Each structure stands twice: as C-alpha cells, then as structure tokens.
Chain A
Amino acid sequence: MLWRTDDGTTTAQSSPQETQIDVSELEEEHQAFATGGSSAEANIVMQNAINMIGYTTEANGKGADKDTVRFISIIEPTTLEPGGTSSGDDYYRVVATNLYETLVREAPTDRTVLQPMLAEEWEIAPDGLSVDFTIKSGVKFHNGTEMTTEDVAYSLNRAINLATNVDLTGMMDRAEAVDDSHVVLYLKYPYKPVVNILTNPNFAILSKAYVEQCEADGTNLGRNPMGTGAYQFVSWTNGANITMKAFDQWNGGDVAIENLIFVFISDSTTAGIALESGDAQLFYGADSADLPRMIQNPDVNVMSVQSSGFYFLTLNTEDEVLSDERVRKAIQMAINRQEVIDGGQDGLGWIAPVPITPGIIGYPDEFVADPQDVEGAKALLAEAGYSDGLTIQLDCPEYNHYSRPVQVVQEQLRRIGINAELNIMEKGAFDTDLSNRNYQIAYTWIGASYPDADCIVYKLFHSDYANTTGQTNLANVVNDEADRLVEEARQSLDDDEREALYLQLCELNQEHAWYIPILQSTNTVVASAELGGVTGNSGSFYYVSDYTYQPES
C-alpha cells in the first residue's frame, strides 16, 4: 500500500521521541566563549551576561567543534520516506541525500555524467528494453544488515508503484534480482535517460525486511528512516531539527564530519544571521533578497549555480483572448528578461530563452530569442482589435520568488497597453487552478527531474496532455508539428539529432508564443568559509560526506 492508513493502534516500536538523543548535549559542546567588544564597559556588560546565561556564540564559528555541521534548511521535510513526497521535493532531497543512497548519482559538476553509487556498473541491453546493474557487495544498512540484490529489486519495484513517482516511472516495468550481484530493470519501451532517473532520492535503496517490519507494526518509516547512506538517523525534533551521525560501516569509507544536524529556520533573514554568527555552517533556501548582504561577508561563501529548472509564463490557448496568436505574440514581444532578473531577483539569475534547462541533454545552444519590441507588440495588439488596451488576469503563487519577478512582467505588459491584474495566490489554490486550466496567464516553474530535455518538453507540448487535469500541457498546445518533434526526439538515440529536433521545437514555441520562458533560477547554498569541499549543485544534491573543515590558517 502506498499510503499507510493509520488504524489508531500504537505499538512499542520506537517513536521519534523515544529514539531522540539530547541534542542539547551536542549544543553544549558546540558553544565556546567569545571575547571582544570595543570598550571595557561593553566587555563587563557582556561578561556579566555570559556569566548569567552561560552562553555565547563564537564569531563565525571559529573555535566551534570541528566534527559537527549544522545545515539550515528553510523548509522542514514532511517525511523522510522515499516516495513519501513528490519526486521534485528539494527539501526532502537535501536531507535524504545524506541518509540514503541510490544506484547511481549525478557527477557534482555535470548532471549528465553518471557516477556509480550502490551499482558498480550498468549496461543497457541492445534492444533498450532492460538495464543490467551490477550491485556493489558488502554494503551495510544502518542497522548492520547487509544489502542484498533482493533489497535493491524490492526498492525499485516499490518506487515504480508509488503514486508520487508516476511522472518518472512511465517507461519502467519491473525490477528483478537475477543473482546475488545483478539486478535487471525491465522497461516497457526503450528510453535512453532511464538510468538518470534512478539518481532521484525517491529511488533510494531500502531494506526490504525493515520496510516490511515497519508496515507490520505500524511504524512510520518517514520518521524512522534507515538506509545505507553516510549518515544514520538519530532523532527528529518536530519543527526544529533532524540529527544524524556518521555511519561507521558506511561503504564509502570514513567521513570528516561526525555529526550532521539539519536545522529548520523558516525566516530567511534569521537563517542568514544564524549562519553568519557561526550557529550554522550551511544554509539552503536563502531568499535572493538576503544574498547580496551575505556575498559581501568574507566569512561565508555564497555558491549559486543554475538550478534544474526555469520560471516561465504559460498562456492558456483555450482562453477567449489568448486563443488569438497575435495577443500571445504581443505579450512575448513585451518581455525583457534581463529587467525581470534585475528588478525581481536582485540581479541573480540567468536569462531563459527556451523551455529547456541549460546543461541537460537536448539543450539547443543555437537558439536565438526574438528581442523585446514594444512598438511591434502594440501594433500586433491593435491588429488583434485591442488598440484601446485590454485587461488580463496574471496568476502566480504567494512566494517572493514568484511574486517579485511577476510584478516586473506586469509593468512590461502595461507598457504595451495590457492591464495585467496580478493575482497572487496560495500555492494549493494556484496548483488547482493550473491543473484545471482555470487561468489566463500564469507565472510558474518547471524543473528537469533528470538531465534530459524530454522530461520537460514531452509533457509541456504533447497534445496527449492538453485539456487533461494535471500540470502538464498547461497552455493546451495541440499542434501536429509539436507532437511529431517531441515524439521523434524521444525515440532517437542520437544526441545531435535530438538537439536539432528540440531546436525546431523551441523555434515553433517562439513562433506561436505558447510558453514564454523568463529566467533560469538559481540553486544556492551558502557555506561557512571554513567548510571545504562545498560546491553549488543544480540538482540540490549536497553530500556532507564530501565536506571537511579547513585547517585554521
């Protein structure tokens, strides 16, 4: 069963409260005395305060314990059960990456390159209908039991059948353990990027015995996670933190950081202050408005890379006004992407000319975007019969990273005579409206769950997904040429040919103005300067086992 329904029975199985260790112990170790202050008086005042409360943070964490990393995330994951949340949930991913392992992982600097993790090697069959994985031997789960090919096949089959993975598993049929070192994944149809999909933490390898035991006795796997990763779960204090410690039998060897504590601070400014004052060493999910300040601080490193996705405007072609291609083209001509980045994202971000993320297979480098043309846009609107202007509804979710850029778009549309009424919505309501195509223009985001253009464009452009519920073909594109291009590109095994087909698709999109890609979002991690080995990662894979404290200079 996918979603265990609770029958109200409770068991003696350890609950998070029971397994919890006293986090304050770690904290006390973490504290050190500070000296400083400009005047003697201030020193006395401060010393009194220190004596009184026995606490002080050390400037920039210097002198803090070198075996503990505190990793701030702006949102607490709802569960740590693989597949317990959507495959695109980055806040689950940031934590889960350190607990669980998958068969393969993406290379830190190039998403398209795969590296072995629990699989030593893999081979796609000549007919493309199966993948044979050679599984690493001697891998231990956190409870000390050895991982078998049975566990691997079980975990893959479990992932294939989960509702949260349906957007990824369409081509997968089943996995089978053929002997004690091989697992074969069978496909319904050949699909070249299938192995890339397995990097998603929703395909983490679990212990079959442990999962079945949890199901039998009603233990919430999401709050009692157990995998093969570099860190093992210690405790989860609801709303505050998740504590892990290094797994001493980890198949990857020893790690430099012994204790890993994820701290949840929902206010970006407070989180930034906690990092800058040395209370934490890593921070994921910073608001762009807080970044310029942190970039100025030599004690922290702000590492921004292009994220896996982009923000775009989707124009509902079923709408009475927007069914007129001239109106859509006029809107496209009104947009100046750099202005949106400067005004709405504090200058952080990259122009997104095409509906495909850069750095993934199929990205058309040669594409040339039409420049902004305000006069041309006005002329087109007049031709469409709107010389006196028109009013249109522009929807976006409530968060800053949507609502700020879209206000610049609103202003750009005003310049060509379109009065865009901005409708900033609660995320749930926004998703529902988008799913039901109950909108005119919406500003939203899409990401590449694996580094292949197909995972974005097939669902955005194929007519099979038009006029259905679900956030797929949002603009309701029904176009034979678009269908042909996405289908041919999907079946081709030649990357150059695929890129050429995607170039044609992007040009077709620009010609008809269905989707207007605006900006490439950033994926940012902020790290204390004393922590070495941290790099930005577009897929939000931050492996703390790779990091070390820099020797003090």
Chain B
Amino acid sequence: MHRYIIKRLLMLIPVMLGISFILYAIMTLTPGDPAQLILGPGATQEAIDQLRAELGTDVGFWEGYVNWLTDALHGEFGTSYRSKEPVFDEVFARFPNTLKLASSAIIISVIFGLAIGIFQAVHQYSLADNIMSGATLVLTSMPDFWIGLILIIIFAVWLKVLPASGANHWYNFIMPAITASINYTANTIRMTRSSMLEVIRSDYIRTARAKGVPERTVIYKHALKNALLPVVTLIGINLGWQLGGTIIVEQIFAIPGIGTLMIGAVRGKDTPLLMASVLFVALLSALINLGTDILYAYIDPRIKAEYSK
C-alpha cells in the first residue's frame, strides 16, 4: 500500500512538468502580448520592448520556459505581470472561496444524491422512482447560469432573503452552492441508483435475504458498501472539477474564486499567475484522485489486496 502511494506521488512529477510545459506553450505561442495589453493601444514599440525586458518576456520560447522552470524549482513562481503581487498570494487569497463553494456543493450532492439514489433503487419502478428519474433528467439538463439567475430572481429580487452577490458571509454561498451542486446531485442520484440496482440483484444479496437478514441490514450493510465504489469515483472527480473553479457560478454570483482568477490571467496574458493557479489546481486534483483510490481500499478489501501485491 505504501509503495503504491509513493509510486503514485512520484508519477505526479512528470504530470506536473507536462502540464507546465503545455500551459507555457499555450500562453506564449498564442497571439497577444502582455506588455502591449498593459501599456494599451497608444504604446510605442520602444516602451513595449522596455516592458518586455522587465517582464522577462523578451526571450525565446525555450529560454523562457527553462527560466520559469529553474525559478519554480527554487520555489520562485514570480509575481503577476499586472498586479505585481507574488502569484501564490493571489491564489491563496482566492482559494478559500473556491474551497467553500466546492465543499458545500459536494456535501449537498452527496447527501441528496445518496439518499435519493438509494430510495429510488429500493423502490424501483414505483411512482416516486419514476417522478424522481424524470426530475433528475431535467436537473442534469439545466445549465448552471440559468439555475443561478432563476435563484437570484426568486431569492434576491422577489423574496429579498439572500444576497445576489459577494462572498463575505456563509449565507452568500447558499445560492452558489445549490447552483453548483444541482448537476452533480443529479449525476450522483443516477449513479447511486444504477449501482445499487446492480448490487441488489447479485447472488450474495439474495443469499442474505434468504437466510432472513432484515431488509435494512441487507441494504445498508451488504449492498451499499459495494454499490459505493463507482459513486466514490464520481464524487472524487466532481470535487476535482469543483476545485478547479466553477467559473460560471463564480462569475454569476461575483465570488472571487480560482475560476475567475484564471479567466483574468488568461485574458491579461498573465503567464506566471496562470501557471501558478493551474498547477495548484492540478496538484490538488491529482491528490484528490489519489485519495479516492486509497479510499477504495477501505471500502473494498479486494482492492486492498490488489494494492498489496
């Protein structure tokens, strides 16, 4: 198990290198010059050249990447071209908001996803099951920005009980978390339901029932644990996605998170800031994936046995 974890952690190195290279290539080889964007349309060539030299963008692609990588390996990720703040100061100023949004959205989707999914599987083909299946289908099809605006109109404009924007208080996150969670909740419901149904039909469940184990124990002790595997994968993937910043939700509710930070960095051609924020998010996603894999072992002893080999 330990060997497996170490192996996975070592594999992160080439992944991070690959990501940084691809990002750097995209930022520098696509048209658009940060110096020109900062100086504005009236800038002279001389001024642009001077600023390029100061930003360090006047060197060739390979030299630039090697310079960045050398600094990064020394822990120097540089300062933002535009704000001149150290890049990780900006990332860490924004990250708590994204974390709050992502974790509350995941909690909502896990609670409702599992509860409704199990209920549907246990009451397969009942009226409630059919209605909920229809509802989840509708929910997965609704785009974030639409749900967000509808919630704003109902709760901020009509009822005036929730603020339309901002991130200063916990109640600022109610509508964004619901908006961000709706698609994930619907997916979790569908995944839980189908996974449960598959397990419920298996032989060992029939055996358990045949020997007179109470239905409640059959469902929650025998069936759920096996049915959880794909659901845990889904939650892990969702969390990774959410930590990358739910850009649209952040935009609609004016939450200063990682997503809007990255969009700003792309628009302003702020390479150091984008590199730092994307690498940070990528590292987090990779670690969450690893965490999910480790979690498998605890849920399913068969996998633990696999790891140990």
Whole-angstrom distance between the alpha carbons of A222 and B78 in the complex? Answer: 17
A:79-99 near B, CB below 8 Å: 79, 84-89
Q: List the A side residues contacting B44 at CB < 8 Å.
A: 166-167, 470
Residue contact B83 to A78, C-beta cutoff 8 Å: yes
Q: List the B side residues contacting A279 at CB < 8 Å.
A: 163-166
A468/B45 contact (C-beta < 8 A), A265-B254, A273-B164 known: yes
- Asked whether any CB of chain A lies closer than 8 Å to the CB of B10, the reply is no
Report, as a range, how many residues of chain B touch the other chain. Answer: 35 or more
Closest to B148 in A: A270
Q: Mark A27-41, 1 if CB is under 8 A from B, else 0.
A: 100000010110000
Closest to B32 in A: A428
B:70-102 near A, CB below 8 Å: 76, 78-79, 82-86, 89-90, 93-94, 97
Closest to A272 in B: B164
Whole-angstrom distance between the alpha carbons of A441 and B153 in the complex? Answer: 41
Residue contact A78 to B268, C-beta cutoff 8 Å: yes
Residue contact B157 to A87, C-beta cutoff 8 Å: no
Closest to B35 in A: A163
**Shortest CB distance A414–B (Å):** 27
**Shortest CB distance B53–A (Å):** 9
**Shortest CB distance A403–B (Å):** 15
Interface 9-residue window, one of B15-23, B133-141, B168-176: B168-176
Which residue of the partner chain, among B40, B149, B165, contacts A86 with CB atoms under 8 Å?
B40
Interface 9-residue window, one of A55-63, A123-131, A501-509, A524-532: A55-63
Residue contact B168 to A27, C-beta cutoff 8 Å: yes
Whole-angstrom distance between the alpha carbons of A270 and B162 in the complex? Answer: 13
Q: Give the interface of B toward A (CB within 8 A).
A: 30-34, 36-48, 50-51, 54-55, 76, 78-79, 82-86, 89-90, 93-94, 97, 149, 152-153, 156-157, 159-169, 171, 174, 251-254, 256-257, 260-261, 264, 267-269
Q: List the B side residues contacting A137 at CB < 8 Å.
A: none
A263/B169 contact (C-beta < 8 A), A6-B78, A59-B160, A86-B38 known: no
Whole-angstrom distance between the alpha carbons of A459 and B41 in the complex? Answer: 11
Q: List the B side residues contacting A266 at CB < 8 Å.
A: 251, 254, 260
Q: List the A side residues contacting B42 at CB < 8 Å.
A: 86-88, 166-168, 449, 459, 470-472
Q: Give the interface of A toward B (CB within 8 A).
A: 1-6, 8, 10, 15, 17, 23-24, 27, 34, 36-37, 42, 46, 49-50, 53-59, 76, 78-79, 84-89, 163-164, 166-168, 220, 222-223, 237-240, 263-267, 269-271, 273-274, 276-277, 279, 426-429, 431-435, 446, 449, 459, 468-472
Residue contact B37 to A277, C-beta cutoff 8 Å: no
Closest to B83 in A: A78
A432/B36 contact (C-beta < 8 A), A167-B43, A273-B156 known: yes
Closest to A223 in B: B85
Q: List the B side residues contacting A469 at CB < 8 Å.
A: 45, 48
Q: List the A side residues contacting B264 at CB < 8 Å.
A: 76
Q: Given A432-B31, A470-B43, output 19 extra A-B contacts at Cβ < 8 Å.
A: A2-B51, A3-B55, A24-B168, A49-B159, A56-B161, A79-B82, A85-B40, A168-B42, A239-B94, A239-B260, A266-B251, A267-B251, A270-B253, A273-B157, A276-B157, A426-B267, A470-B48, A471-B42, A472-B42
Q: List the A side residues contacting B166 at CB < 8 Å.
A: 240, 263, 279
Whole-angstrom distance between the alpha carbons of A306 and B85 in the complex? Answer: 36
Which 7 interchain pairs have the tightest Cβ spacing? A428-B32, A239-B256, A86-B40, A167-B42, A78-B82, A429-B31, A163-B47
Residue contact A5 to B54, C-beta cutoff 8 Å: yes
Closest to B42 in A: A167
Whole-angstrom distance between the alpha carbons of A17 and B40 in the complex? Answer: 29
Q: List the B side residues contacting A220 at CB < 8 Å.
A: 83-85
**Shortest CB distance A113–B (Å):** 24
Residue contact B86 to A36, C-beta cutoff 8 Å: no
Residue contact A428 to B36, C-beta cutoff 8 Å: yes
Whole-angstrom distance between the alpha carbons of A471 and B257 in the complex? Answer: 34
A222/B157 contact (C-beta < 8 A), A6-B78, A86-B39, A238-B94 known: no
Whole-angstrom distance between the alpha carbons of A386 and B175 in the complex? Answer: 57
**Shortest CB distance B119–A (Å):** 26
Whole-angstrom distance between the alpha carbons of A398 and B83 in the complex? Answer: 23
Q: List the A side residues contacting B37 at CB < 8 Å.
A: 427-428, 431
Q: List the A side residues contacting B47 at CB < 8 Å.
A: 163-164, 166
Which residue of the partner chain, among B43, B149, B165, B253, contacts A163 with CB atoms under 8 Å?
B43
Residue contact A57 to B40, C-beta cutoff 8 Å: no
Residue contact B168 to A23, C-beta cutoff 8 Å: yes
Closest to B82 in A: A78
Whole-angstrom distance between the alpha carbons of A11 and B31 in the complex? Answer: 37
Q: List the B side residues contacting A167 at CB < 8 Å.
A: 40, 42-44
Residue contact A87 to B45, C-beta cutoff 8 Å: no
Which residue of the partner chain, among B33, B48, B83, B94, contacts A428 with CB atoms under 8 Å?
B33
**Shortest CB distance A40–B (Å):** 15
What are 29 of the A-B contact pairs (CB < 8 Å)?
Answer: A2-B50, A3-B55, A4-B84, A46-B161, A53-B171, A55-B161, A55-B169, A59-B160, A78-B268, A79-B82, A85-B40, A86-B40, A86-B43, A164-B38, A166-B42, A167-B44, A239-B93, A239-B260, A266-B254, A267-B252, A271-B254, A426-B30, A428-B34, A428-B36, A428-B37, A428-B268, A469-B45, A470-B44, A472-B42
